[in-house]
Amino acid sequence: MSPVSRGFLGRRRPVADPSRLPPGQYLETGFPVLSAGPTPHTPLDEWSFLINGEVKEPVSWPWKEFLELPSETITVDIHCVTKWSKFDTHWQGVSVDTLLEHVNSEAAYLTAWSDGGYTTNLPLEHVSDGKAWVAYQYDGEPLHPEHGGPARLLVPHLYFWKSAKWVRGLTFTVDDEPGFWENYGYHNLGDPWKEQRYQGD
Amino acid sequence: MERAALPGRLTWQLVSVVELVEETTRAKSLVLTKPDWPGGYRSGQHVDVRLTAEDGYQAQRSYSIASAPEDDHLVLTVERLEDGEVSPYLVDVLMPGDKLELRGPIGGYFVWEESLGGPLVLIGGGSGVVPLRSMIRHWCTTPRDVSVRLIYSSRRLSEVIYRDELTGYGSSGVDVRFALTREWPDDWDGHRGRIDRTLVDEVAGPSEERSRIYICGPNAFVEAAAGWLADGGRDPGRIRTERFGPTGT
C-alpha cells in the first residue's frame, strides 16, 4: 500500500469511459513524440518491407507494391509507457496477418527492425489474428516522419514502444530476443493492462 | 545502437524531501534522500514519481535526475505545467520532511558516463537541461579528458535553471552557451533568438571529432537540432535524444 501524499487531491481529468484507461495512465489529447535519436528520412524509392529470418523464403515489398496490398482502417486507443494514453486514433495500414500469408515459418518470435537501428521483440501470437498492422496513414494523411512515417508498426494492445517507428521489416526468430528498450530494462512484453512497464513488473 | 546489460527489478521506494530549491518562478529542485538502488544510477536517467490521494487515487509521472551519481542526494528538478496534475503538487505543495514515492533508475540510452568518451556536446531547451546538468556534474568528477560544451536555450533570463551554477563554470573547462529566445537584456552577450544551425554546428564541432551529442527539450527543438546534425553527416548513432511535450498534431 502506498502512503498518502500529504495534500495531494489529484486533478482528475474527466474521462468519458474510465474503463478504457489502463492503470497508471492519463488521457492525452495531443500526440507526443518520443524517439531515442534523430528522425530518419528514407526516400520512398529506397524503402522496402522485408520479412526474413527463420522463414522458408524471405519476402519483400517495395513501397509501391506495399501500398497495393489490401489495407484496413483501424481506430484504436494507444498507450505509451511514459504514462499518456490517446483514445480513438485513426490509422490505415496492412494487417500483419496479410503479410504473414506470404511466408512459411515455424518460429514463434519476431523482431521488428527500423531505419535508425531500432528493434523491438514480439511473440508471434501478439501480432497475428488482427492484433497488429504496418500503418502508413494517420488521420487520413501520410504518416509524418516524427510519428514513424513512412510506415510504423501498430500493436495497440501493447505499450507503444512496441509499435516500432520507421519499421522496415520483421525477422522471425526461434528464441525471444530482447530488442532496444527491452535491453535497457523495459518489460519484455509490455501489456498496459497488467502495467508491465519495466522488467519484473 | 548499443546494447546494455539487463538491470534488476524496479521497486517503489519512499524517500524524504530534504530541501526544496527555487530555481526559477516555475521550477524547483527537489533534494531527496538517496533511494536504495543496488547499482546507483547514471547521468541522464529518470525516475517515476507516484502520488497517492486519501481515497487511493494515484498519479504517476517521469522526471529526469538532475544530480550526479556522486552527489550526496538525489535531486529532481521539476517545472510546473499549469494544466499538470503532478508537477503543480511537487512545485507548490511538497515541503521538506514530506515523503515521496518513486522508482528507478529508468532508461539506459540517454546516459553519459566516462567510458563513452567525447567530446561531450549537450543541447538543452527549457527544462530539457535537467539531465544534461547531471552529465556536467558527473563530468566534473572525471579526469576531464574530454571537452564538454553546452547550448542551453530558454525563453528569458528569469527562466534559466541552474543559472549561477552554469555561469560559475567559467574557466573550469565547461563551455556554456546560453540562448534566449523571447527577450534578453540590452547587454546580453549570449545567443539572441532561437538556436540555429550555425550555432549548433559550431558547438558540436567538426564531424571527424565524433562528438557524443545529447539533445533534450521540446520535440520541435530536438527535431530541429538533431536534424541539422544528422544532415551534416554525423553518425546518427552518436546523437541521443529525449523529447517532451505534445506536438499538437
> How is chain A split into domains, by residue range?
23-31+48-194
**Residue B245 pLDDT > 90:** no
Q: Is the pLDDT reported for residue B19 higher than 80?
A: yes
pTM of the entire predicted model: 0.94
Flag if B98 and A5 touch (Cβ within 8 Å). Answer: yes
Which chain B residues in 202-231 lie under 8 Å from chain A, judged by CB atoms?
219, 223, 226-227, 229-230
C-alpha neighbours within 13 Å on the C-beta side of residue A36: 24
Domain boundaries, chain B: 13-106, 114-244
List CB contacts (< 8 A) between B59 and chain A: 10, 26
**How far does the CA of residue B189 sit from the closest CA of chain A (Å)?**
30
Average pLDDT across chain B, whole number: 93
Nine-digit cell at B11?
Answer: 521497486
A90 part of contact set with chain B, CB < 8 Å: no
What is the percentage of chain B residues whose pLDDT exceeds 70?
95
The per-residue pLDDT for A18 is: 84
Asked whether residue A162 carries a pLDDT value surpassing 80, the answer given is yes
- pLDDT tens digits for range B21-79: 999 999 999 999 999 999 999 999 999 999 999 999 999 999 999 999 999 999 999 99
Per-residue model confidence (pLDDT) at position A46: 97
Residues 6+ apart with CB under 8 A from B106: A185, A198, B10, B45, B46, B47, B48, B62
Q: By CA distance, what is B246's nearest residue in A? A: A32
| Segment 36-75 of chain A within 8 Å of chain B by CB | 36-40
CB A112 within 8 A of CB A163: no
B131-155 average pLDDT score: 96
| Mean pLDDT, rounded, of chain A | 95
| B114-244 CATH choice from 3.40.50.80, 3.40.190.10, 3.40.228.10, 1.20.1070.10 | 3.40.50.80
Nearest CB neighbour to A82, from listed B3, B53, B62: B62
- Per residue in B175-212, pLDDT tens? 999 999 999 999 999 999 999 999 999 999 998 998 99
Q: Please indicate if any CB of chain A lies within 8 Å of the CB of B96.
A: no
Task: Indicate the fold that domain B13-106 takes in CATH.
Answer: Elongation Factor Tu (Ef-tu); domain 3 (2.40.30)
Residue A36 to residue B240, Cβ atoms within 8 A: yes
Query: What is the band of B7 on the pLDDT scale with cuts at 50, 70, 90?
Result: low
Question: How confident is the model at residue B249, as a pLDDT?
Answer: 31
Q: In the predicted model, is pLDDT for residue B154 greater than 70?
A: yes
* CATH number for the domain whose boundaries are A23-31+48-194: 3.90.420.10
Domains B13-106 and B114-244 share a fold: no
Residues 151-170 of A with CB under 8 A from B: none
Distance CA B52, CA A137 (A): 39
Q: A65-117 pLDDT, tens per residue?
A: 999 999 999 999 999 999 999 999 999 999 999 999 999 999 999 999 999 99
Predicted pLDDT of residue B8: 66
* Residue B52 main-chain phi, psi, to 5 deg: -130, 125
Angle between helices B219-231 and B197-204 in degrees, nearest 10: 60
